[in-house]
Structure 1
Amino acid sequence: MNTTAKHLLSLSLALLLAGCGGDDNDTNSEKTLVAFAPGGKLSAEIRWTDYGVPHITADNLQSLAYGSGFAYARDNACILADQMVKIRSERAKYFGPDKIAGSGDSAHLISDFGYLALKVMASANEHYPGLSDNSRALVEGYVAGYNRYLEETGIDNLDPACAGQSWVQPITAQELTAYIFATSQLASGESFMELAFFANPNDDDSYLPYAFNPAATASSQDVEPSHDKLLTGLRQNIRRQAGNFTIPDQEHGDLGSNGWGLGKDKTENGQGILLANPHFPYTGHLRFWQSHVTIPGVLDVMGGSLQGLPGIVNIGFNQNIAWTHTVSNSRRFVLYQLRLSEDNPLQYQYDDDTREISKQSYQIAMKAGDSTITLAKDYYYSHHGLMVETPPEMNLLTWSETGAFTLRDAAEENTDLIDHWLAINLAGNLTEFQQAYRDYDGIPWVNTMYADDAGNAFYIDKTRVLNLSDNALAQMRTDPELVATRAAIGFDILPGNTSVFEPDGLNSYQQAPKLLRPDYVQNSNDSYWATNLNELMSGYSILYGDDLAPLSLRTRMGLTLLSDSSGEDGLFNAGEVETALLSNRSYLAEAVLADLLNQCRAQGNEPVTLNNGLAVNIANACNALGNFSGVMTQDSRSGHIFKEFAFKFDQDRHFNRPFDVNDPLNTPNDLATDGSVLQAFAAAVANINQTSLDYNASLGSIQFTEKTLHSHGEANASGLRFPWAGSTHREGGFNVFSPADGDSTLYPIHQYPGVLDVESGRPLASGLSEQGYHLNYGSSWMFVVSFTDSGPSARGLLAYSQSSDSESPHMDDQNRYYSEHGTLRPLRFARQEVLNNTIDKRELSSDQP
């Protein structure tokens, strides 16, 4: 959306909001949305209730974000400080080239150069002046609040993870905007940093960083003698590391979320219910943070937000509506295969023209003992974007004499992100909610589920997807080579020598998959097509994901819960939704456990021989599995046996009955009887046998969360373990947890050495260790809100707690709550509830010291 239109829309929104509410004693008072604080005086009230949840009240957006930035920093200042180091491309400057010191992984170098190549900081500097008043007010207020906390507290007195560190500095509005741009590219450009780092038109080492001085080139390594050995070793490490570069994995695996919107035909009182169950990391910048933000009479919304998103709620509810998100199956990017000109690897054919591949050099500082060395590196761009390349041994995306590959990222320079979520926060009904998606293209990589007090249930995937022509989309669905490529690597590679595949901006609201229902909408990270089994969808852009395709076991579990968890009347109340969420059922166990037991019991003491010749006696494990209840509660015995089996289970090989598009919930099914299932089970048993874990152990005794305590860059186990219920995506669980480390942060987390798979020799995907399962990912900001005649009624939980500060009382209080109770807790939304449960209060003003 252009800048003028955004400013007009902000003004229109303010006019529409005039008179939309007010105090109980002044229902006719006019209220307008004010962006900047009058006279520049920022003022906000912050009340903290139980579990450290801040309720922030102000009269304008800038002041609201001021309070939000201050309250956020009290909980998580070190996380955003770390992200600013990332955005400034200064990780190598402060921490050296490697994420794991001395490992040679070169991760900090790749990150620093990568964010320069993505141009997030340069784009922020360029586009910040043109952001809407609302966006700039929120950014500037948040930055002021965050910096106020740093100044008041003193860097030496912060969380031990970053206390006294020189890299903790005040932040600027442009830097926060760059961080927002990078967050938008999380599932697109950021995923290609390694392949952009490797891209090189020459068949040599000229992709490697070189010492920078005015006369230096990639082949002229003029460098101080004291740094010569360092640079030589660095380049050797990068060469070795380049062999590990891989194409981005587009499979969600354990990553993702669940979301339900229930409408009037599915609820007891005829008003909506929303279930929000995002699965996100427990460390780093993808942690959620809970808050309640209010501008009296204009804005009153509670929910969770990703770190550093200023003063807005990403997943939450207000008086009339509720919404949640799940990671979309859409693809926010495509690759183009360029046809190069003869004898010139920096030119490519495009229709009847020849276009140039440009080169741009970037410089970073890298720690070298007590000093720094400046390194430079070259990156290359087509008119689509960054050039990318895989290492030669992959023989996939190579920059050859005739062809090369380039990335088109639909999520870059997302200037709509703040405005879009703000419009959602302000919406009071379905029409206003839908209008937010008509007006903005800010939601980068998530689906949306919605419910409201009128009993509407609505779904939309308006992620930032490129708008390709009908001709291009038809070829992408039917051309055998394009189809095979997408099936093989998980995303599209399109011909780059023709304008046929040139996008025309982003898809519009009209082009986005969406569904309005009176019963339900749902998503668990599969594509849009099975949002509701009573109204299957198809025919949208292939970039939104495959339609009429098999569903994941987790999606099938969610749909099963929708069908069988609402009691005898077939209608849900909020309690029944919460019970379904936390039931810890496993779709795979419900589908195959009985047959699996029959097969392994029939095997008796006769060993099962794996393909590598290892013979495994499964009798004792089979006997123990007979005690497994099929649900992953803390007291479930032998659940880890089934969990390891699930990670060996392959739907394509181990089900006899294939997928039937006319019965997507129940197919594929029927456990294979050809011996392959027993081999999978035997491999799982052999992996458990490498530990001292008892076959009959309860899940709660071996599955746990445990905080990491940081000090001076070191990560140490807290020693306090919280027993944990829940399953994984692979078991077809709904309430999902896993040991996955899915986030980019400089903070290491303590990890227990994992078991190596007896078949592949690689660490087990399940994360099994001698200690069991140390969880670091999964159900995070989860809540259930139901609308009633007296307003929203909500229960929720931030599973890993509000603060990352190891010295905060709110570092692990919600961990303890979930571990001990296994339920959600009341959310304090009504003003009187906030007043009755206030544990701390702060009047924050910019004119006070």
Structure 2
Amino acid sequence: MLLSPFGRLSPFRRLSPFRRLSPLRPLSPLRPLAAALCLTLLPATVHAREVVITTTTHGIPHILAPDLEAAGHGAGYAYAAAGNTCLLADALVTVRGERSRVFGPDATVDLVGGRVSNLVSDTFFRAYLDDARLTIADPEVDALIRGYAAGYNRFLAGTDPQKLPEACRGAPWVVPATQGALRRLLAERAIQASGGRFAEAIATAAPPGTDPAPQAATDPLTPPPALASNGYALGGDLTADGGGLLLGNPHFPWAGSLRFFALHVTVPGVIDVMGATLAPLPLPAIGFNARLAWTHTVSTSRRFVLHELRLVPGDPTAYLVDGVPERMVARDIAIPARLADGRETIITRRVWESRFGAVLAMPARGLAWTADTAWAIADPERSDTRLVAQWLRLGQAGSVAEAQAALIAIRGTPWTNTLMADQSGRAGYADLTGVPPVTDALARSCAPTAGAEAIARAGHITILAGDRAACAVPGLMPADRMPVRNSRRLFMNANDSYWLSDPEAPLTGLASILGPTEVPQRLRTRMSARQLGELTGRPGPAVAPSDLEAMLFSERNLAADLALDAVLTSCAGQADLAEACTVLARWDRVSAPAARGAGLFRQVWRRLGADPGRSGRFWSVPFDPTRPFDTPRAPDAHDPATAGLLRAALRGAVADFRAAGLALDAPLGALQQRDGIPLRGGDDAEGMLDNLGLGALGPAGGFDTARAYGTSWVQLVRWRALPDGGTVPVARGLLTYGQSADPASPFHTDQTRLYAAGRLFDLPFTAEDIAADPARSETVLDLPD
């Protein structure tokens, strides 16, 4: 008798063909025995395929399937059944370019580059994503996507539309998913740090003399704050048991289709991996298996290049390449739309393409389409179909070396660094994102005009000349020119560049497009280095998982450590600031939920801005690239300009609290709540590892949580040796906002309460742990042979 990893009969067993008539059923306690009898009594020609979904505490599905297509089926079904149907249905409306028809052209939608009209969104997705270029040749990946569509559609077919979550209850736009639509959504994930950021600039670009569509206040040259992360991989030289240790802490939105979903997928003999994913990925994107764990952070490398097109005099839709005129290609995009009066119509919008990519225009950033100049974007991720293949191979990897080899071979992590650790004690880092192959030498030889160079410096982007064929940049930067390292020590990343991801051996000398080196680091990077240094440099015990868990939820506020003394010095003797100074002086500089003064300081720091050093002598100790984790520091409160800046920020913060009707010493947890649950964490700019990005302080009684982002999926992984020489992962985790987007679900805020308490929970991975889970329930989906 074959046993599955869950301690059940193998899904390859022979079962009665009549049992396949039941699409969904709970398991009887006698079912394993009955199945064993079937195994010996039924003729060998009868084969049934089934997916077993075992749900454990907090609604985490453990999907056992006989093959990858069936695994995808289980993943799609489990995601929808958890209460996330509306999220996926809405995202598919977006990538199909149907928002104007479903919700009206003037309504708006959040895209990665900002909030835009549905008409702009539809124009962009219909023009930018080409179904013919999004085909998938890998049969395993194709099977996973085919299965995911079938599983999601199975849930829809078996569910009364009036019993869907309120957000889409009875909505006609909740329709079955096609494989093509899922591929489009995967492509949308791939372009989030390249063409997707320029959706409005591409959809509204128009030659001079025509009537361009108005642009909203989106700024694609400013990275979206809602995509960030911490990742820490410790090798065996630093850990208590000599094996690897990994803490993944992505900072992603708490609402919308970028919510993580935790799952465990097992196909015996093929893959056994647990973690969290973004729909419609059928496998964990951040996860672990019996020998390897990995996480991702958003990379600072640049995943696109703009080209400055020199236009033919008198013809703004033609440009010169090596002195020869070349015409842009105009494409008219037909967009079905439903008008406010209910009438349906077709709106036609024109977009433009060049040999260097889509033409765009952003006048507010100096990138206007004039009679002399136009701009095009080279986006190597535009036709990326490698995402699922990448996470399939990572889930199958058994070591850091194998994981790095998979990253190099597939190049399917479009905009994220990867940090990893394995059971043998190896740790690693790689930034193998979708970067165009722009060397510094090419950047110099293809330098654009002085005006374009100034725009590039201000926006921290790459602009190349677009009047020479040699300046085109097809493909990706070769892997051997990108940062890839491993050792038995420490790797970390908190969204600064690769430069200090190995704190003991800074890496320099790579192409500038991969990110800056020898520059001031964000406070979250500095706090990471400070706290990890305290752990690894202390006398006595090596680092244990509990140390990293405590570190993440310590809620230490580096901005307060660096600047609060100066704030207190500046407000001494100011009668109108006496109460505020007293509140801040009593605060212990930890942004825990009960902390009084943490909220007031946050507002002070926000008013100072993300870079208070812009005031000249703000920092008395300037940045020193030889001491990047310790500088700059110590605001110069005796400098009149700096003191005035600090006092003005404090007065403004006090006024903000008074206007909102809030006490200056209100506990932080009273100022940031979700569904009545006090939250922990703080602003990225405060240097908080437990990042919780919230909106402005308002009259509703605190910081706006409607578009919260930050700590989302947390996984803390080590390994335990088995008597037979193998290993199993020992993991703790947390999905801060719960498995379900449906407020009516018991899995909507259950983990939020754990997050409020600063506590992870054990993640069951082995058959024994899954079987012992007190909340265990099982569902079986019969599939056709």
Query: Could you tell me which residue of structure 1 aligns to residue 176 of structure 2?
Result: 170
Residues 161-194 of structure 1: CA distance to partner in whole angstroms, max 9, x if unpaired?
1111110000111110011011111121111111
Determine if the alignment matches structure 1 residue 370 to structure 2 residue 342: yes
Query: Could you tell me which residue of structure 1 aligns to residue 664 of structure 2?
Result: 695
Of 680-689 and 320-329, more deviation after overlay is shown by: 680-689
Query: Could you tell me which residue of structure 1 aligns to residue 104 of structure 2?
Result: 96
Query: Could you tell me which residue of structure 1 aligns to residue 320 of structure 2?
Result: 349
Q: Contact 2:389–2:412 at 8 Å: present in 1 too?
A: yes
Give 1:691-730 correspondences, 5 Å limit: 691-706=660-675, 721-730=676-685
Determine if the alignment matches structure 1 residue 297 to structure 2 residue 269: yes
Deviation at 1:155, TM superposition (A): 2.1
Change (3 A) 1:23 1:303: closer
Determine if the alignment matches structure 1 residue 555 to structure 2 residue 561: no
Determine if the alignment matches structure 1 residue 53 to structure 2 residue 60: yes
Determine if the alignment matches structure 1 residue 114 to structure 2 residue 124: yes
Query: Could you tell me which residue of structure 2 aligns to residue 515 of structure 1?
Result: 485
Residues 714-766 of structure 1: CA distance to partner in whole angstroms, max 9, x if unpaired?
xxxxxxx10011111111111010225xxxxxxxxxxxxxxxxxxxxxxxxx4
Output the amino acid matched with 2:703.
Y
Q: Distance in 1 between matches of 2:415 and 2:489?
A: 25
Deviation at 1:815, TM superposition (A): 1.1
Query: Could you tell me which residue of structure 2 aligns to residue 749 of structure 1?
Result: none
Query: Could you tell me which residue of structure 2 aligns to residue 774 of structure 1?
Result: 704
Q: Distance in 2 between matches of 1:40 and 1:499?
A: 58
Which secondary structure state, in structure 1, belongs to the residue aligned with residue 70 of structure 2? helix
Change (3 A) 1:536 1:194: same
Change (3 A) 1:264 1:474: farther
Q: Distance in 2 between matches of 1:62 and 1:594?
A: 59
Residues 35-75 of structure 1: CA distance to partner in whole angstroms, max 9, x if unpaired?
xxx99975211000010000001121001111111101112
Determine if the alignment matches structure 1 residue 735 to structure 2 residue 742: no
Q: Contact 1:195–1:247 at 8 Å: present in 2 too?
A: no
Q: Contact 2:333–2:349 at 8 Å: present in 1 too?
A: yes
Q: Distance in 2 between matches of 1:191 and 1:666?
A: 33
Q: Contact 2:6–2:771 at 8 Å: present in 1 too?
A: no
Determine if the alignment matches structure 1 residue 322 to structure 2 residue 293: yes
Give 1:227-266 correspondences, 5 Å limit: 239=214, 242=215, 244-251=216-223, 253=225, 255-266=227-238
Determine if the alignment matches structure 1 residue 633 to structure 2 residue 592: yes
Of 272-281 and 247-256, more deviation after overlay is shown by: 247-256
Q: Contact 1:468–1:504 at 8 Å: present in 2 too?
A: no
Q: Distance in 2 between matches of 1:307 and 1:23?
A: 25
Change (3 A) 1:477 1:273: farther
Which secondary structure state, in structure 2, belongs to the residue aligned with residue 559 of structure 1? helix
Identity %: 32
Output the amino acid matched with 1:73.
A
Deviation at 1:535, TM superposition (A): 0.4
Output the amino acid matched with 1:651.
G
Which secondary structure state, in structure 1, belongs to the residue aligned with residue 293 of structure 2? strand
Query: Could you tell me which residue of structure 2 aligns to residue 784 of structure 1?
Result: 716
Q: Contact 1:476–1:483 at 8 Å: present in 2 too?
A: no
Deviation at 1:344, TM superposition (A): 1.3
Query: Could you tell me which residue of structure 2 aligns to residue 73 of structure 1?
Result: 80
Determine if the alignment matches structure 1 residue 598 to structure 2 residue 569: yes
Q: Contact 1:22–1:297 at 8 Å: present in 2 too?
A: no
Change (3 A) 1:168 1:175: same
Output the amino acid matched with 1:138.
L
Q: Contact 1:437–1:462 at 8 Å: present in 2 too?
A: yes
Which secondary structure state, in structure 2, belongs to the residue aligned with residue 363 of structure 1? strand
Query: Could you tell me which residue of structure 2 aligns to residue 486 of structure 1?
Result: 456
Q: Contact 1:482–1:492 at 8 Å: present in 2 too?
A: no
Deviation at 1:22, TM superposition (A): 8.6
Residues 431-462 of structure 1: CA distance to partner in whole angstroms, max 9, x if unpaired?
22122112112111111100111111100000
Query: Could you tell me which residue of structure 1 aligns to residue 613 of structure 2?
Result: 651
Q: Contact 2:443–2:464 at 8 Å: present in 1 too?
A: no
Change (3 A) 1:259 1:562: same
Picking from 372, 382, 385, the partner of 1:412 is 382
Query: Could you tell me which residue of structure 2 aligns to residue 537 of structure 1?
Result: 507
Deviation at 1:598, TM superposition (A): 2.5
Change (3 A) 1:481 1:571: farther
Output the amino acid matched with 1:796.
G
Q: Distance in 1 between matches of 2:283 and 2:554?
A: 31
Deviation at 1:592, TM superposition (A): 2.1
Which secondary structure state, in structure 1, belongs to the residue aligned with residue 123 of structure 2? helix
Deviation at 1:817, TM superposition (A): 2.2
Deviation at 1:478, TM superposition (A): 12
Q: Distance in 1 between matches of 2:532 and 2:446?
A: 34
Output the amino acid matched with 1:677.
L
Deviation at 1:577, TM superposition (A): 0.6
Q: What TM-score does the superposition give when structure 1 sets the normalisation length?
A: 0.82
Deviation at 1:370, TM superposition (A): 2.7
Change (3 A) 1:39 1:337: farther
Query: Could you tell me which residue of structure 1 aligns to residue 93 of structure 2?
Result: 85
Of 292-301 and 69-78, more deviation after overlay is shown by: 292-301
Residues 402-435 of structure 1: CA distance to partner in whole angstroms, max 9, x if unpaired?
1111111121111211111110000011222122
Change (3 A) 1:446 1:25: closer
Determine if the alignment matches structure 1 residue 843 to structure 2 residue 780: yes
Query: Could you tell me which residue of structure 2 aligns to residue 832 of structure 1?
Result: 768
Query: Could you tell me which residue of structure 1 aligns to residue 740 of structure 2?
Result: 803
Q: Contact 1:42–1:62 at 8 Å: present in 2 too?
A: no
Please, which runs of 5 or more residues in structure 1 have no aligned partner? Answer: 1-20, 31-37, 209-238, 606-616, 707-720, 741-765
Picking from 249, 258, 277, the partner of 1:277 is 249
Change (3 A) 1:652 1:182: same
Which secondary structure state, in structure 2, belongs to the residue aligned with residue 271 of structure 1? coil
Q: Distance in 2 between matches of 1:410 and 1:183?
A: 13
Determine if the alignment matches structure 1 residue 203 to structure 2 residue 209: yes
Q: Contact 1:386–1:408 at 8 Å: present in 2 too?
A: yes
Q: Contact 2:448–2:463 at 8 Å: present in 1 too?
A: no
Output the amino acid matched with 1:841.
E
Q: Contact 2:399–2:421 at 8 Å: present in 1 too?
A: no
Q: Contact 1:254–1:728 at 8 Å: present in 2 too?
A: no
Q: When the two structures are aligned, how many residues end up with a matched partner?
A: 722
Q: Contact 2:622–2:633 at 8 Å: present in 1 too?
A: yes
